Structure 1
Amino acid sequence: MDTHVNILGIPVPKLTMDRSIERVEQMIEQDGQELCHVITLNPEIAMACQHDASLRTIVDEAGLLTADGIGIVMVSRLRGTPLPERVTGCDMLYRLLERGNEKGWSFYLLGANETTSALAADVIRRDYPNVSILGRHHGFFKQEEEGELVEEIRVLKPDVLVVALGAPYAERWIHKYKGVLHAKIAIGVGGSLDVVAGTVPRAPMVWRKLNIEWLFRLLNQPSRWRRQLLLPRFAWKALVYRDK
């Protein structure tokens, strides 16, 4: 039985959210585990990989790859090799916090602006009291501050490094430093810290179940319309793609 689906040449594992969380937990609890870079693949990253060899290498070297975005799942279904469900960065972050609350995991939050970063940390401490927030830093650091930031994360050794720097910058940043960060898991979560902090509304469950979360986000953030123009191009290219 095939365990992967080919999306524009990228082998995407057929993983449910539950199975993805199980894999992450195994990595966190394994002594001596090297950093696992979790990438939630969306159409933007998949399209960028077609002309960006360095990004494609980052995706190929990911410790765990999941299907983020209904476009990825819909294409897999239309090609006759369906992925079981979406496993988004935002949903995975919430599930990791829930599991981390049960297991006493530690987190480091990197990204968003200072106000949002502080709010997100406060919300997590309130809603997940057994989670340890070892540190946090906003995402508007200067290049000359980067070394000190990396050193702080290296010393703190969080179980989970949450990187909300936007895709694919977060993926590039994690890959650049994954050998020295000393976290067990690092995951790019887009704008999810804004959702955790409450500064950006999360789509109601009914919207998510209907797979129209993208529409809710567009209505609340009209500036995203340019990004939506990529989706028809992605769908066409992915549907006609033939393995080389």
Structure 2
Amino acid sequence: MRILIQDIPVDLLARPVLLESIIEWLKFPGQPRQIITLNSLMLVNAGRNQELKRILCAADLVTIDGFGIELLLRRRGHQEVTRWAGIDLVRDLLGWCSGSGFPVFFYGGPPAMNAPLRQAMANLFPRLRIVGIRDGFNNMAPQPAVVEEVERIGPCLLLAGLGSPAQEIFLARHLPRMPGTVGIGVGGALEVLSGMKKEVPRFFRNCGWEWLYRMVREPERLRNLPDLLWFWYQFIRLRKDGGESN
């Protein structure tokens, strides 16, 4: 089932169903597919970035990544919803790709991440077929070589860790040139997988304090605080009003 939050679609499907849908796209490549892992910051940003909003509305699949989105949906009566954290989604798909031989392309993170990521993947998924690793974190202008390389490789799982909204914009603009490729914006998941950054402990994720943990460990994330406060202001207003349009 797909519903709208402030005109942004969200797919309310059980995690196994979502995973099976993505695997079907990988097993039977046809048109390119873009998957969004939606969190509260992305939702706020879409309110002022029309290109991002159009991309979210046109996405083939929009999963629930953030605690705030999950809580908002529960407030609207969707008690059955569960988050599928981006890092967990990536691990699930890499596990399937490792077993099936489906190729994977990593794009994002700093240059120093490439070697540790390749080694980490060799340890975690020895049979994983990696067809490319390119750095590019915080690079709003995508490297032409990346697009050309993925075009040449053919259908693959393309994990773009460029940060939002750069990764969503990159995929939306260039996936049409990559038939059969499934693209996902994964934020800092590649750095976590490589071991360069520590994964948020499950306790903090389950309590909805992931944002606090990250801000303490990465003070540069304080720039996101106004947007987070705006999201929670909207959530509190929703509770007082007792509902939401859409």
TM-score, normalising length: structure 2: 0.89
- Cα distance in 1 for residues equivalent to 2:150 and 2:83: 30
Shift of 1:128: 0.3
1:186-205 map, 5 Å: 186-205=183-202
Matched, 1:211 2:208: yes
1:199-243 deviations in Å (ceiling 9; x for gaps): 110022333333332232222212212313322311332526742
- Cα distance in 2 for residues equivalent to 1:11 and 1:179: 21
1:1-244 map, 5 Å: 3-31=1-29, 33-82=30-79, 84-139=81-136, 143=141, 146-238=143-235, 239=238, 242-243=244-245
**Deviates further, 232-241 or 160-169:** 232-241
SS in 2 for 1:108: strand
- Cα distance in 2 for residues equivalent to 1:46 and 1:79: 16
SS in 2 for 1:86: coil
- Cα distance in 2 for residues equivalent to 1:58 and 1:200: 28
Shift of 1:94: 1.1
| Equivalent position amino acid for 1:18 in 2 | P
SS in 1 for 2:122: helix
**Deviates further, 58-67 or 72-81:** 72-81
| Equivalent position amino acid for 2:172 in 1 | H
Identity %: 27
| Equivalent position amino acid for 1:237 in 2 | Q
Shift of 1:142: 8.8
- Cα distance in 2 for residues equivalent to 1:22 and 1:220: 35
CA contact (8 A) 1:107 1:160 kept: yes
SS in 2 for 1:40: strand
Unaligned 5+ runs, structure 1:
none
CA contact (8 A) 1:109 1:162 kept: yes
- Cα distance in 2 for residues equivalent to 1:206 and 1:243: 33
| Equivalent position amino acid for 1:234 in 2 | F
SS in 1 for 2:35: strand
CA contact (8 A) 1:39 1:188 kept: yes
RMSD: 2.1
Unaligned 5+ runs, structure 2:
none
| Equivalent position amino acid for 2:245 in 1 | D
Shift of 1:5: 3.6
- Cα distance in 2 for residues equivalent to 1:175 and 1:10: 16
SS in 2 for 1:219: helix
Residues 1:68 and 1:25: Cα distance change in structure 2 (over 3 Å): same
**Deviates further, 52-61 or 10-19:** 10-19
